[in-house]
């Protein structure tokens, strides 16, 4: 079935801009205006939940910078995930400047419908389309590159130095390229993750690149169960 976006986002819809750098907020606001939207730069309080509470019910969407260090000790990835969980379409802007940032973003990637590179992807039309995709996901309507599928992932390496990560081979996505995910994204399964361990996980196996890939809801597979699973395929 072809994915179609039926959006409530209209010309003149108010969109919150969350950014700790005034000049960046102004740039984002300008491109949103060019796309027919009404940007509103919001104050950034000390608490993440306080910020989300101030957005839900007041805006049609949110465009959030990832690094908010100038005004808060939380990150944009957390805000986008919290907004999406409460039904408010939100997208994330980033520059991928720091590997630690990348690991944190990956932790929340299942709840981040669109990740836009500042300057490259952050045109008004791209942001508006990303917000429309985000709105669709709040209703459980995923485009093919974001739709999760239950599939097998095998641990190929584990790195316990910060930022703690685990490398996975996910054959349904690629039979040769491994992907790195934060160890804590495995939840309770992180403690038993060792090289060779197989898990079932929800993965968007049609992701275009490793930057768009996510894996969530890990469940360990005992060796005998894995043999049964393979025989059933």
- Which range, of 114-123, 127-136, 143-152, averages the lowest pLDDT? 114-123
Band (pLDDT 50/70/90 cuts) for residue 76 is very high
Residue 156 has pLDDT above 90, yes or no: yes
Residue 41: which of 58, 28, 52, 31 has the closest Cα? 28
CATH class of the domain whose range is 149-232: mainly beta
Top-tier CATH class for 14-138: alpha beta
Q: What radius of gyration, in Å, describes the C-alpha atoms of the chain?
A: 19
Q: Domain segments of the chain: what residues?
A: 14-138, 149-232
Question: What's this model's pTM, rounded to 2 decimal places?
Answer: 0.88
CA atoms within 13 A on the CB side of 217: 10
pLDDT digits (tens, 9 = 90+) for 19-43: 999 999 999 999 999 999 999 999 9
pLDDT tens sequence across 86-130: 999 999 998 765 556 677 888 899 999 999 988 878 899 999 999
Residue with tokens 């890939």: 213
């Amino acid at each position: 079935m072809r994915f179609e976006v039926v959006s409530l986002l209209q010309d003149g819809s108010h969109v919150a801009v969350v950014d700790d750098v005034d000049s960046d907020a102004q740039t984002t606001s300008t491109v949103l205006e060019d796309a027919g939207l009404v940007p509103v730069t919001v104050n950034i309080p000390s608490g993440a939940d306080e910020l989300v509470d101030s957005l839900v019910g007041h805006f049609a969407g949110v465009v959030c910078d990832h690094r908010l260090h100038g005004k808060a000790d939380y990150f944009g990835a957390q805000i986008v995930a919290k907004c999406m969980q409460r039904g408010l379409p939100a997208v994330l802007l980033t520059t991928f400047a720091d590997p630690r940032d990348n690991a944190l973003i990956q932790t929340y990637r299942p709840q981040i419908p669109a990740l836009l590179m500042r300057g490259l992807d952050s045109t008004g039309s791209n942001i508006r389309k990303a917000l429309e995709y985000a709105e669709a996901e709040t209703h459980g309507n995923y485009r093919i590159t974001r739709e999760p599928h239950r599939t097998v992932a095998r641990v190929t390496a584990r790195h316990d130095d910060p930022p703690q990560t685990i490398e996975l081979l996910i054959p349904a996505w690629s039979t040769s390229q491994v992907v790195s995910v934060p160890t804590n994204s495995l939840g309770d399964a992180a403690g038993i993750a060792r090289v060779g361990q197989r898990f079932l996980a929800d993965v968007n196996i049609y992701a275009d690149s490793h930057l768009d890939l996510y894996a969530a809801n890990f469940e360990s597979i005992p060796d005998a169960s894995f043999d049964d699973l393979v025989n059933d395929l």
